[in-house]
Amino acid sequence: MGTLKSRVAIAEQSPKERRSNFNEVCLGYNIDEARLEATRCLECKKPKCVEACPVSINIPLFIKHIKSGDIAEAAKVIDLDSSLPAVCGRVCPQEIQCEGSCVMGKKGEPVSIGKLERFVADWTIKNHLELTTKSSKRNSRVAVIGSGPAGLSCASDLAKMGYEVTVFEALHMPGGVLVYGIPEFRLPKSIVEEQINQLKRIGVRFELDVIVGKTITVDSLMEEEGYGAVFISTGAGLPRFMGIPGENLNGVVSANEFLTRINLMKAYQGDYDTPVYIGKNVVVVGGGNVAMDAARSAIRLGSNVKIVYRRSEKELPARAEEVHHAIEEGVEFCFLTNPVEILSDEKGWVNELRCVKMRLGEPDSNGRRVPEPIPNSAFSISCDMVIMALGTSPNPLIINTTKGLKSERWGGIHVVNEFGKTTRPGVFAGGDAVTGAATVILAMQAGRKAAAAIDEFLRERDSKHFNFSSAN
């Protein structure tokens, strides 16, 4: 067992081919490949991989079922801890989580845990395996605000417990960042749709075009519409800008705008109405997943793309696989570089990005070395589009319109325990709205924990109510 040092190769579209389409890059294992890769797992007694998975999926066990060819059984194992395996198998930063701790990685390559998880999840979808049975109906309604991974997983668990769940979403399509942010070539929208259809099948209602805080409020949901509890999972969608001169010039956009036009509004498909402007020479500022997604989308639309990042390659926060794919596709990286000004032609269109060179100074309180500008190092990059991918923060709308909610100074919703309990009874929160921009798996976990807490809250409320009425 565990004889192969390297991973079983996985089929991918070649870089040349995929530069001109939005189809998924990685084509996934077939069953033989998956079973072969599964043989590499040593089934450790104290599996390091499980410790490093934020939701502690029983990795050796599900892989063991793959080995023996029982994929349905593998799916059941994963389902105990994750409600979005088809998504997380594709987008988790495995190299710093499960795979980063796999013992096989010490001498060779770690087991392809993410790809195996994805294989199981895709197999489940293809074979219409319904994993869950709904328990008996419970007479309480729960409102979930926002339909990203946190909201979807919370709704899923609550519906399975028998609650009547309605998800309210501001946009015209459910899925949160999974539909408006992460591009098709990394996460096919049909997969997200399938996850959402699964929820609909177990009775979750979706009400789109409802902006909580504007159309309705948390108060009106609880006081007028009879929702016993509310879960706030509104994400962290507010884009940051640098505050440098020229940022409002034409041709300068946030990554959210660029990606929303492409993913949510499908501007790259001829038969959709939303326009998208594509520069010939595009500079993307930032080094996270968002920057990689923007850069690789621009490549597919025919641009030459440079990524400008103020730290060095080692500090890039994006998933390793995305950086690797971006380089293969021809994205050029300018490390230790920071923009200071954007200049334009006489018509107000961007034509030049002024930058300075940076070096890494002393580590900050998080141990990350702080980049500082090198004096007299200014230089220019000529370009006709600049995409800002500098991170996002939570939208203050719900905080500002809900009685009794406390927020953190940086804008996140304040929670009093790890189950997402807020300062207002019956109101829970989780995902990026609480943590700031983080990951899909953490948002999913927050949703599930809150679902458990909401169940407990409603049961307690009902039993009090029951005691009270029986005492009378």
Partner 1 sequence: MFKILRKRELAPDIYLFEVEAPRVAKTANPGQFVIVRAYDKGERIPLTIADYDKRTGSVTIVIQALGASTRVICSFEEGDSFVDFAGPLGQPSDFIHFDPDKINGKRFLFVAGGVGAAPIYPQLKYLKERGAVLDVIIGARSKELLILLDEIREKVDNLYVATNDGSFGYKGFVTCVLEELISKGNQYDQVIAIGPMVMMKSVAESTKKYSIPTIVSLNTLMIDGTGMCGACRVTVNGKIRFTCVDGPEFNAHEVDFDEAMLRLNMYRSEEQKRLVDIERKHHKCKIGRTM
Q: For ligand FAD, which is the closer residue by CB, 85 or 176? A: 176
Q: How far is the CB of 371 from partner 1 (least distance, A)?
A: 23
Query: Which one of partner 1, ligand FAD, ligand SF4, none is in contact with 111 (Cβ closer than 5 to 8 A by kind)?
Result: ligand SF4
Q: How far is the CB of 177 from partner 1 (least distance, A)?
A: 10
Q: How far is the CB of 374 from ligand SF4 (least distance, A)?
A: 38
Single residue of 82, 166, 234, 407 touching ligand FAD by CB under 6 A: 234
* DSSP codes, 426-464: TEEE-THHHHSS--HHHHHHHHHHHHHHHHHHHHHHHHH
Place of tokens 């077939």: 30
Q: For ligand FAD, which is the closer residue by CB, 63 or 167? A: 167
Contact indicator for 9, 30 with CB cutoff of 8 Å: no
- How far apart, in whole angstroms, are the C-alpha atoms of residue 290 and residue 159? 32
- How far apart, in whole angstroms, are the C-alpha atoms of residue 440 and residue 54? 11
Residue in 418, 422, 421, 444 with CA at minimum distance from that of residue 431: 444
Q: Which of residues 41-80 bind ligand SF4 (CB under 6 A)?
A: 41-44, 47-49, 53, 55, 57, 59-60
Query: Which one of ligand FAD, ligand SF4, partner 1, none is in contact with 89 (Cβ closer than 5 to 8 A by kind)?
Result: ligand SF4
Long-range contacts of 353-358 (CB under 8 A, 24+ apart): 353/283, 353/308, 353/380, 353/381, 353/382, 353/383, 353/386, 354/378, 354/379, 354/380, 355/308, 355/379, 355/380, 355/381, 358/310, 358/311
- How far apart, in whole angstroms, are the C-alpha atoms of residue 223 and residue 219? 6
Amino acid at 240: R
- Contacts (Cβ under 8 Å, ≥6 apart) of 127: 72
Evaluated on CA atoms 8, 11, 17, 19, the torsion sign reads negative
- Contacts (Cβ under 8 Å, ≥6 apart) of 344: 246, 249, 250, 251, 350, 351, 352
Decide: is 279 part of the binding site for ligand FAD (CB under 6 A).
no
Q: Which of residues 162-201 bind ligand FAD (CB under 6 A)?
A: 168-171, 176-177, 181-182
Q: For partner 1, which is the closer residue by CB, 135 or 220? A: 220
Q: How far is the CB of 47 from ligand SF4 (least distance, A)?
A: 4
Single residue of 24, 157, 293, 384 touching ligand FAD by CB under 6 A: 293
Q: For partner 1, which is the closer residue by CB, 43 or 225? A: 225
Q: For partner 1, which is the closer residue by CB, 273 or 364? A: 273
Candidate segments 2-10, 109-117, 208-216, 238-246, binder of ligand FAD by CB under 6 A: 208-216
Query: Which one of ligand FAD, ligand SF4, partner 1, none is in contact with 254 (Cβ closer than 5 to 8 A by kind)?
Result: partner 1
Decide: is 94 part of the binding site for ligand SF4 (CB under 6 A).
yes
Which residue ranges make up the site for partner 1 (CB under 8 A)? 170-172, 180, 208-211, 214-216, 237-239, 241, 243, 247-251, 253-254, 256-257, 260-261, 265-266, 270-277, 347-348, 395, 397
Single residue of 60, 151, 286, 420 touching ligand FAD by CB under 6 A: 151
Q: How far is the CB of 225 from partner 1 (least distance, A)?
A: 11
Q: For ligand SF4, which is the closer residue by CB, 36 or 42? A: 42
Single residue of 213, 246, 286, 339 touching ligand FAD by CB under 6 A: 213
Query: Which one of ligand FAD, ligand SF4, partner 1, none is in contact with 277 (Cβ closer than 5 to 8 A by kind)?
Result: partner 1
Long-range contacts of 14-19 (CB under 8 A, 24+ apart): 15/325, 15/328, 15/329, 15/330, 18/185, 18/300, 18/329, 19/299, 19/300, 19/329, 19/330
Query: Which one of partner 1, ligand FAD, ligand SF4, none is in contact with 390 (Cβ closer than 5 to 8 A by kind)?
Result: none
β-bridge mates for residue 407, sequence order = 413
Query: Which one of partner 1, ligand SF4, ligand FAD, none is in contact with 53 (Cβ closer than 5 to 8 A by kind)?
Result: ligand SF4
Q: Within 10 Å of residue 226's Cβ, how many Cβ atoms?
A: 11
User: Starting at the edge strand that comes first in sequence, how are the strands of the sheet with 141-145 ordered?
Assistant: 205-207, 164-168, 141-145, 229-232, 427-429
- How far apart, in whole angstroms, are the C-alpha atoms of residue 286 and residue 391? 8
Q: How far is the CB of 390 from partner 1 (least distance, A)?
A: 11
- Contacts (Cβ under 8 Å, ≥6 apart) of 151: 144, 145, 167, 169, 176, 231, 233, 431, 447
Window 441-470: contact mask with ligand SF4 (x via CB under 6 A): x-----------------------------
3-state secondary structure 176-219: CHHHHCCCCCCCCHHHHHHHHHHHHHCCCEEECCCCECCCECHH
Would you tell me which residues interact with ligand SF4 (CB under 6 A)?
Answer: 41-44, 47-49, 53, 55, 57, 59-60, 82, 88-89, 92, 94, 97-98, 102-104, 111, 113-114, 117, 441
- Chain positions contacting ligand FAD, by CB under 6 A: 91-92, 145-151, 168-171, 176-177, 181-182, 211-213, 233-235, 237, 259, 289-290, 293, 319, 395, 397-398, 431-433, 437-441, 443
